[in-house]
Structure 1
Amino acid sequence: MDPSAHDHGGHDAHSGSAPREAPAPWSMAAKATLHCLTGCAVGEILGMAVGTALEWGNLRTMLLAIALAFLFGYSLTLFAVVRAGLDLTSAVKVALAADTVSIAVMELVDNAIIVFTPGAMDAQLSDGLFWSSLLGGFAVAFVITTPVNKWMIGRGKGHAVAHAHH
């Protein structure tokens, strides 16, 4: 059988071993996480503020905040890659590939902190507990999401996809 007919499935044809994945620097992972955190924070704060001001129930408010966090998180990447020259369809695919896991982890952590902080779900916009649980959740989410982004970038996933188009 002709050896050139084989698909080496990502293996280096010369060494016979899998290609090495380059670990991403922590600074790159932190920047990617900060990028995601920015979009998430805008959406989350807007959603929580609107839902709280309208006296919606906790579930509706949280669902609005999560939806807006994804919307704003994706939009930051979307605008950047469109400015870099990608068409809208390709830009949407890049934004989804770049941000979905990061935003999902961030939202899971942030919202879990809010849910499990006693009284936070009933706090009003004028309460310190509202803002401290929200901002504290962002801080913890940043710390937990940064290693996730580092791992993904090192494997050419997540924000590495967006950086290929900048």
Structure 2
Amino acid sequence: MDHGSHTHTGVSWQTAAQATLHCLTGCAIGEVLGMVIGTAFGWGNVPTTVLAIVLAFFFGYALTLRGILKAGVAFRTAFRVALAADTLSIAVMELIDNGVIALWPAAMDAELADALFWVSLAIAFVVTTPVNKWMIGRGKGHAVVHAYH
């Protein structure tokens, strides 16, 4: 199939959801790991959150990068594609996820934070999916990645 003449305007919600899920997986791994490390070192909320966000970006990019590299693309090209594909997606997801937790009174209380962590990731998924659908529809974001699948 020739991807060049293929228009991206009819992007399915399933494609957008899959791209978002990819991103969400990386974000969740990074955030959980960040919280575990931050807690293990007895850090406060701010350094723990910063570490979680950095790791969320790292794992989000890593998952995309792995898929592109498997297609035999050179690392530098694959890295640029991953940055282009995931930066907005991860940024929106992290903003929503951490925004919900930051703005919710008492969200940092352990039991509530556990439930809210998953709720905020779910909200982030719902908000980020249309962003990815819009980006893929314009040949951006994960549309770039799909050329290598």
Q: Which runs of 5+ in 1 are unaligned?
A: 1-19
1:113 to partner: Cα distance: 0.8
Q: Give 1:113's aligned amino acid.
A: V
1:149 is aligned to 132
Moved over 4 A (4+): none
Percentage of matched positions with identical amino acids: 59
Q: 1:35 aligns with which of 16, 19, 22?
A: 22
> Cα RMSD between the aligned structures?
1.2
Tell me how many residue pairs correspond in the alignment: 143
Post-superposition Cα deviations, 1:107-155, rounded to whole Å, max 9, x if no partner, equal 000000111222223x3xxx32121111111000000000000000000
1:98/1:161 contact within 8 Å kept:
yes
In structure 1, give the amino acid aligned to 2:138: R
96, 103, 121: which one pairs with 2:83? 96
**What is the CA-CA distance between 1:21 and the residue it aligns to?**
5.5
Residue 101 (structure 2) aligns with = 114
* Partner AA of 1:147 in structure 2: P
Unaligned runs of 5+ in 2: 1-6
Secondary structure of the residue that 1:56 maps to in structure 2? Answer: coil
Q: Is the 8 A contact 1:99 1:159 kept in 2?
A: yes
Which residue of the partner structure matches residue 69 of structure 2? Answer: 82
Higher helix proportion, which one?
A: 2
